[in-house]
Amino acid sequence: MKRNKKERQRLLKATIEENPFVTDEELSERFSVSVQTIRLDRLELSIPELRERIKHVASRQLQTEVRSLPLEEVIGEVIDLELDDSAISIFDVREEHVFRRNQIARGHHLFAQANSLAVAVINDELALTADASLHFHQQVRLGERVVAKAKVKGMEEESGRTIVEVNSFVGQELVFSGRFKMYRSKNVKKDEMQHENRN
C-alpha cells in the first residue's frame, strides 16, 4: 500500500523508536520505497543512521558491568544489560561466520551469541551453562544483523540453577531460541552443603 510522505515518515519514526536496530534496507522493504528515500526521510526527521543509534542506546543503557566474564568474551556487542533480569546483544554476520557455498551462517555462531549472553546476564563471578535446549527457526545469511534478547525466567527449585531464555531475531523474524540452565557459585556452596550433610 502506497502511503503519502507525511504518513510514511510518521510510521518510520514510530518503527525506529520501537526497534532502534532496524536497518535502512529493512525499512525500505517494509515501506515499499528505495533505500535512498528512507535515508532522506531519516535526514528530514533528524534520525541518525543505524551505527549512531546503536552507540546511543549502548551509552544510555549499558551502565552495569558484566560480572561473570570479560565483556570482550561475549559474542556480539552487548547494548543493554540488567543483571539477573535481561540483556540484549547484536551480532553482524560476516564472511568468516558463513558457509562459503551458500552464505548461510554457521549455527554455532548463533548459539555462541545466545549462550554468552545467558552467561553475561548472571549476577555472579561464576556462571556456566549446565544444560541447554535449542531451536534454529530460520537460516541467517551473510550481512544480516542478529539481535539476541535474554530474559531470566527464575530458578529451578531442586538444582538451584538459573533459567535464562534467549530469543534471537533478524528484523521481526525469530531465527533462534534457547533455554539455558545456568550453574553459578551459589550452586557450588549448595553442593558443598549437601555433600557435608551426606557425610
Supply the CATH number for residue 49's domain: 1.10.10.10
Is 180:118 a contact under the CB 8 Å cutoff? yes
Do 105 and 140 lie in one domain? The reply is yes
Question: Quick one: 100 and 155 in the same domain?
Answer: yes
Q: Kindly state whether residue 194 falls inside one of the protein's structural domains.
A: no
pLDDT of residue 85: 93
Judge whether 198 lies within some domain. no
Q: Are residues 119 and 149 in the same domain?
A: yes
Contacts of 134 (CB under 8 A, 6+ apart): 111, 114, 176, 177, 178
What is the end-to-end Cα distance of the chain in Å, rounded? 73
Same domain, residue pair 25 and 66: no
On whether residue 142 sits in a domain, the answer given is: yes
Quick count: other Cβ atoms within 10 Å of Cβ 39?
15
> Which CATH number goes with the domain that contains 83?
3.10.129.10
Determine the longest span between alpha carbons in the chain, in angstroms. Answer: 76
- pLDDT, position 81: 86
Same domain assignment for residues 139 and 155: yes
Residue 40's pLDDT is: 92
pTM of the predicted structure, to 2 decimals: 0.69
Query: In this structure, are 180 and 97 located in the same domain?
Result: yes
Number of Cβ within 10 Å of residue 98's Cβ equals 19
Residue 198: exposure state from Cβ atoms within 10 A (0-12, 13-18, ≥19): exposed
Examine residue 43 and state whether it is found in any structural domain, yes or no. Answer: yes
CA nearest neighbour of 164 among 88, 108, 65, 61 = 88
pLDDT tens for the chain, 199 residues: list them.
Answer: 567 889 999 999 999 888 887 888 889 988 999 999 999 999 999 888 877 777 666 555 554 567 777 767 789 888 888 889 999 999 999 999 999 999 999 999 999 999 999 999 999 888 899 999 999 999 999 999 999 999 999 988 888 899 999 999 998 899 999 999 999 886 655 544 444 444 4
Residues 111 and 144 in one domain: yes
| 109 and 176 both lie in a single domain | yes
Torsion region of 39: left, alpha or beta (phi above 0 gives left; psi -120 to 50 gives alpha):
alpha
130 and 176 assigned to the same domain: yes
Q: 29 and 125: one domain? A: no
Report the distance separating Cα 80 and Cα 87, nearest Å. 5
For 181, the domain range is: 62-189
* Residue 176 CB contacts under 8 Å (≥ 6 apart), including other chains: 110, 111, 114, 134, 135, 136, 137, 140, 146, 148, 166, 167, 168
> Are residue 80 and residue 98 in the same domain, yes or no?
yes
Q: Is residue 41 part of a domain?
A: yes
Domains in the chain: how many in total? 2
Domain shared by 95 and 178, yes or no: yes
State the Cα–Cα distance between residues 117 and 76, nearest whole angstrom.
Answer: 9
Contact 146, 93 (CB under 8 A): yes
